[in-house]
A and B are shown apart, each in its own frame.
Chain A
Amino acid sequence: MTDQAYNFAYLDEQTKRMIRRAILKGVAVPGYQVPFASREMPMPYGWGTGGVQVSAACLTPDDTLKVIDQGADDTTNAVSIRKFFEKTAEVAVTEKTSEASVIQTRHRIPEEPLTEDQILVYQVPIPEPLRFLEPSEVETRKMHSLEEYGLMYVKLYEDISRHGEIATAYAYPVKVEDRYVMDPSPIPKFDNPKMESAALQLFGAGREQRIYAVPPYTKVVSLDFEDHPFDPSKAPHPCALCGAEDSYLDEVITDDRGGRMFVCSDTDFCAGRRAAGFTGEMTNTRPAPVDTEAMA
């Protein structure tokens, strides 16, 4: 043991045991939100303290950790969480999806398919998919226990009658293993099909004190209607830097005259394609990315 001032992975052992027990129950009941006693972490809530606590409970010194913030490895948020665990949990770190054993993410699923040897940890702001329909926790628990999800479908159908399609583009609700309706965190709906994965997916909501899980190969179905099937489509552009037709894109400003282009939100995916020789129509420009997402 070293004489460092903090415990391994920062949290004390009793806290980690409590979180670990909650994670195991989450795995046993896919999509169900397990309450846990969230701890103060040395970062503000908006920085993903739920995901950080789940990661802290899972990491071993043998892990290689990747942290992404809306697909990017190099934001302040991603860099500081990576450094935090590099120091406290003695893990190796990487920006390469394929090299990571644990990936903590805010609002994206990597483009590269995950493997059985990986765990994806999501930072979740609002874990309860029924919360905007019903403010009472007692009532939402009752609705989940009775599989009373009619109101959720009514809301989605109102979208269709108002906009001609389901307007929800982020945090698009899913049904897990034909039982629980679950909030996938504010990932774009483009990512929803990736939730049927070989990797274990764990979700941590710090402020709301909930942990939930989707085990590998679990059935995850985006809610829809026979006459309006779920459509995960994205903006109809290829990436301007790597030419990818099948990745999720961010819009970025290229100059001060309103010029803009679409580039992969998954920076590792895009860099990997460019390294392999793929090009896009603006491969030789280097724009300053801006955050175009409506939700922080």
Chain B
Amino acid sequence: MQTAVLDGGLVDPARDAAFAFRAALDALSRPGTIRQIDGAEAPAPCSPAAATMIVTLCDPTTPLYVAPSHDNEALREWITFQTGAPFAAAIDAVFAIGTWDALAPLGAYAGGTPAYPDRSATLIVEVPVLEAKGAVLAGPGIETKAQLNLPEVDAFQANRAQFPLGLDFFFTYGNRVAGLPRSTRVTEG
């Protein structure tokens, strides 16, 4: 085991995770807003934001799918040591991590059941840039409209069409995060 596996976890786990969760909660509650989230450092190519999301939300009860963009031994070992989350295929995953292209297609993930729409995957999507422009967002959490540079529009419209089933998304870049719940209506900007 490389020493890097032991490094990069939260320094003060309970308090750091509390701050990280609030950033994630704020991001998902107000789609389009971009929040700072950091504290954890994982092996490349995982961003600090995605690493912090993983240590804050994942544990031995949450199967994790690592998409090909992020599937390397160093990152897997780090995730195992820091969280104990078991690795799983996309269909069994509670969380997934990767770039947009590597995570596709969205049909590979569980979108919940009519009785339990919460039994659905949350995708942590690493993006090359995160900014409040581009696709137009409306729905819960948004007073009038918001904008976010989503990787595409069609996939999120198809996801919204399944509501209350569907997937939920966090977009991560550097030490920043934005959220997009299934409830958001997305149109071209």
Contacts and interface: CB of A to CB of B under 8 A. Distances in A.
B22 interface: yes
Contacts, number: 121
B82 interface: no
A62 B28 CA distance: 20
B12 A28 contact: no
A24 B28 contact: yes
Contacts of A9: 14, 18
Contacts of B99: none
Contact of A60 (B22, B24, B62, B116): B22
A95 to B, nearest CB: 23
Interface of B is mostly: loop
Given A27-B25, A58-B21, A216-B30, A13 B141 contact: no
Given A24-B122, A25-B120, A29-B117, A215 B56 contact: no
A16 B15 CA distance: 12
B7 interface: no
Nearest to B22: A60
Contacts of A61: 15, 18
B163 interface: yes
Nearest to A117: B26
Interface in B14-44: 14-15, 17-19, 21-22, 24-25, 28-30
A284 B29 CA distance: 45
A58 B140 contact: no
Nearest to A180: B164
Given A14-B59, A58-B25, A215-B141, A28 B18 contact: no
A261 to B, nearest CB: 39
A30 interface: yes
A146 to B, nearest CB: 8
A232 to B, nearest CB: 22
Interface string B103-145: 0000000000011111010100000000000000001111100
A194 interface: no
Interface of A: 1, 7-9, 13-14, 16-18, 20-30, 32, 34-35, 57-62, 89, 116, 138, 141-142, 144-146, 177, 179-180, 198, 200, 213-219
Q: What 5 A-B pairs have minimum CB-CB distances, sorted nearest first?
A: A8-B14, A145-B114, A28-B181, A25-B118, A215-B141
24 contacts: A1-B12, A8-B14, A8-B18, A9-B18, A13-B17, A16-B17, A16-B21, A17-B58, A20-B21, A28-B183, A29-B118, A32-B117, A35-B116, A60-B18, A61-B18, A141-B115, A141-B116, A142-B115, A144-B115, A177-B139, A215-B181, A215-B183, A216-B30, A217-B142
